[in-house]
Each structure stands twice: as C-alpha cells, then as structure tokens.
Amino acid sequence: MTRWVGLLAAAAAALLLGVVVGPADLPLDAVWDGLLGRGDQATQAIVRDLRMPRALLAFFVGGSLAVTGAALQALVRNPLADPYLLGLSGGAGLGAVAAIVFQVGGVWAVPLAALGGALLAIALVYRLALVAGAVLDTRVLLLSGVVVGAFAASLMGAIIAISPAPEVRNALLWLLGGFDAASWRAFGVFTAYAAVPLLVIYRQNRPLDLLALGEEPASFLGADVERLKRVLYVAASLLTAAAVSVSGIIGFVGLVIPHAVRLLWGHLHRSLLPAAFLLGGVLLLVADAIARTAFAPLSLPVGVVTALIGVPVFVLLVRRWAK
C-alpha cells in the first residue's frame, strides 16, 4: 500500500516539476497565475500550452515505454529486451529520414513516416517469426527483430550517405528523442491510441506470470501461449511505434525501469505493470525537465538524460539487491 502511495506521490511531484521548471525563468506565483489563466499572455502560453501538455505527454510516453519493456522481457524471456529491440527503431528511423530527405511535404510528415516505418518493420518481423505456420517462435522473433532493424539502419545509412542535405543531421537529432512537438493535440491523440494496447497488456498480467516459467509450463497451467505471444507482440509494438512518432527514440526507460521495479517489488505482473508505468513516467518527466533546463537556453536530447540519471540509479539498486 505504501508503495502505491509513494509512487503516486512521486508521479504527482514529477508532473508538478514539469510545469514549474523550465528554461523560461518563471517565478512560482507567475506559474500559478498562468495555470489559472491569469497574468500575461506569454506566461499563460508557456504554462498552459507548452509545459502542461509536454509534462503529461512525457509521463505517458515514459509509462508506455516501461510497460512495453516489461511485457517484451517476459515475452522473449530475455532481460536485454527493450521496446526498440524488435526492429522498431530502425524502421521508424528509416521512415523519418526518408520523409526528410525526399522532402515529403505536410505538417505531420515526419511523425507519420516514422509510424509507417515502424509498422512496416513490425509486420516484417512478425511475418519472419511465424516460421512454422501459425506458431510464433520467440527466438526467431528476437533474431528477425535484430535483423530487420539492422537492415533498416543500413538503408538509412545509405540514404544519409548519398543525400547531402544538412537536414539529415537534424533528422538524426529528432531520432535522439525529445518532446518539443508536444501539444494538447499530440497528447490527446497519443493517450487515446495508447490506452488500448496498455489495457490489452495489463489484462494479460496473469498469463505473463505463467509465461515467465517457460512456454511449456505456461501451457500446462492453462495459458493459451500462442495467442498470448501474438497479442503481446502486436500490442507492445504498436505502443512503441506511437511513442516513436511523438517523441523519437528514447532509450533506457523501457530497458531498466522494469528491472528496477522487479528488484524493488517482485515479479508479479499485476503490480509490476502499473508500477513500471508510474516509475517510467516519473523518470522520463524528470529527464525532460533536466534536458530543458540544464544548459538553458540550449536544450539536450532527452534520451541522453534518461541514461545519465537511470544508469547510476540502477547501479545503486543492483548493488543493494546483491547484498
């Protein structure tokens, strides 16, 4: 119980931090006025139209990445699994770089192209992993994910090498991750979309516990393992593809948050999944606050900061656990 109170308090504090802290040096009472729709226009715009949707979006993306990581680690029974392992980052990157280099017009061209690339990679990996008819072999899934990712990355490299446009460098910066495109609309679209795969994954929490024992024991204990694997893979991949399209590729959250939660509170997915969601959200929100303010007015890619905070925290956890 105290765990949940603590996690919810941390989430609330992180959301508050995301609204209070920023490169624009606003005093607390100005932020409060801005929240209530009082005070000058610029402050209101910064607080209500930029910081609030950005904080909420960062929180939801962080939570989604952590849940995806937890589900995929259980699915492929590999502690190194993370949301991008299965070819997604390569597919999304290829889509984004192609859209920029070939100057696909339109306001949403880059995020939509990234989403398209990721979905294409997912379809390809899934098809490759269905080796023996309708059976999804998780070892082949892992391998084909890596292979499709490498293939997409090579294509991306080829495009970058032959296209001189300076925009390519900026495409790569976009891929490093960030929430500069955050808006109420982006937040609304992402949450409406993410809610479905998040619920689908959560509903599988009991079968996920069984799957951790191995596919055979799980099926003896009554889990429909083949269906479970397909549902999990599709839900996790679609969730990650959406995250990539709103915020680029943010490493580390999906890899380490699930492990941290397991070290702290055990392996039961019924509590592991929601706890990972909250903690992933907190980490990404804090990382984004640091990315925006540490070198203001310059800003850092948020993926750099998630690793800089996450690695030391994780090392401390592992040391504590090893004692």
Partner 1 sequence: MSLRNLTALAVMAAVSLACEDRERHADGPVIDDTGHPVSLVRSPTRIVSLAPGHTELLFAVGAGDRVVGRTRWCDHPPAVATIPSVGDGLNPNVESILARDPDLVVFYASASNEAAIARLEQLGIPTISLLTDDLDDLMRAADLLGTITGQKATSDSLIDWLSREIASLRASRPGGSLPTALMVAWDNPPIVIGNASFLSQIAELAGAHNAFADVDRPSLTVSMETIVERDADLILIASDSGIPAWAERPEWRVVPAVRDRRFVVVHGTEFSRPSFRAPAAIRRVRAALQEWHRR
**Total binding residues toward partner 1, as defined by CB under 8 A:** 34
Does 184 bind partner 1 (CB under 8 A)? Our answer is yes
Output 262 or 292, the one with its CB closest to partner 1. Answer: 292
Does position 173 interact with partner 1 (CB under 8 A)? The reply is: yes
- Structure tokens of 71? 């589900």
Q: Look up residue 150 and give its two tokens.
A: 């490498």
Q: How many residues does the chain have?
A: 323
Question: Which of 299, 304, 308, 309 contacts partner 1 by CB under 8 A?
Answer: 299
User: Does 215 help bind partner 1 (rule: CB under 8 A)?
Assistant: no
Gyration radius (Cα) of the chain, Å? 20
Residue 298 touching partner 1 (CB under 8 A):
yes
Least Cα distance to 7 among 253, 280, 250, 201 occurs for 280
Among 10, 20, 23, 200, binds partner 1 (CB under 8 A): 23
Q: Which is nearer to partner 1, 219 or 299 (CB)?
A: 299
Q: Is 133 in the site for partner 1 (CB under 8 A)?
A: no
Q: Which structure tokens are listed for 18?
A: 């995301």
Nearer to partner 1 (CB atom), residue 37 or residue 297: 297
Q: What number of other Cβ atoms are within 10 A of residue 201's Cβ?
A: 25
The reply to whether 158 sits near partner 1 by the rule CB under 8 A is: no
Q: 168 and 101 in contact (C-beta within 8 Å)?
A: yes
37 is a site residue for partner 1 (CB under 8 A):
no
Q: Are the CB atoms for 44 and 37 separated by under 8 Å? A: yes
* Nearest-angstrom CA–CA distance, 243 and 183: 14
Distance CA 89, CA 110 (A): 14
Based on the shown chain and the rule CB under 8 A, indicate whether residue 95 belongs to the binding site for partner 1. Answer: no
Task: Tell me how far, at minimum, the Cβ of 192 lies from partner 1, in Å.
Answer: 16
Q: Is 125 exposed, middle or buried (0-12, 13-18, 19+ CB in 10 A)?
A: buried
Of 79, 117, 85, which is closest to residue 101 (Cα–Cα)?
117
- H or E stretch covering 120: helix 109-129
Among 296, 311, 313, 316, binds partner 1 (CB under 8 A): 296
Asked if 46 touches partner 1 (CB under 8 A), the answer is: yes
Q: Least Å distance between CB 8 and partner 1?
A: 27
Task: Please list, in sequence order, all residues whose beta carbon lies within 8 angstroms of the beta carbon of residue 108, skipping any fewer than 6 positions away.
Answer: none
Q: Which residue number, 169 or 323, has a Cβ lying nearer to partner 1?
A: 169
Judged by DSSP in three states, 132 sits in: strand
The candidate with the shortest Cα–Cα distance to 67, out of 219, 222, 243, 220, is 243
The one among 1, 80, 107, 322 contacting partner 1 by CB under 8 A: 107
Choose the stretch contacting partner 1; rule: CB under 8 A; options: 118-126, 165-173, 220-228, 271-279: 165-173
Q: How far apart are CB 82 and partner 1 at their closest, in Å?
A: 23
Tally: H helices and E strands in the chain:
15, 0
Stretch that binds partner 1, among 37-45, 119-127, 134-142, 146-154 (CB under 8 A): 37-45
Contact with partner 1 (CB under 8 A) among 167, 221, 263, 264: 167
Of 180 and 224, which CB lies nearer to partner 1 in the complex structure? Answer: 180
Confirm or reject binding of residue 27 to partner 1 (CB under 8 A).
Answer: no
Residues forming the site for partner 1 (CB under 8 A): 22-24, 41-42, 45-46, 49-51, 105-107, 109-110, 164, 167, 170, 173-174, 178, 180-186, 292, 296-299, 301
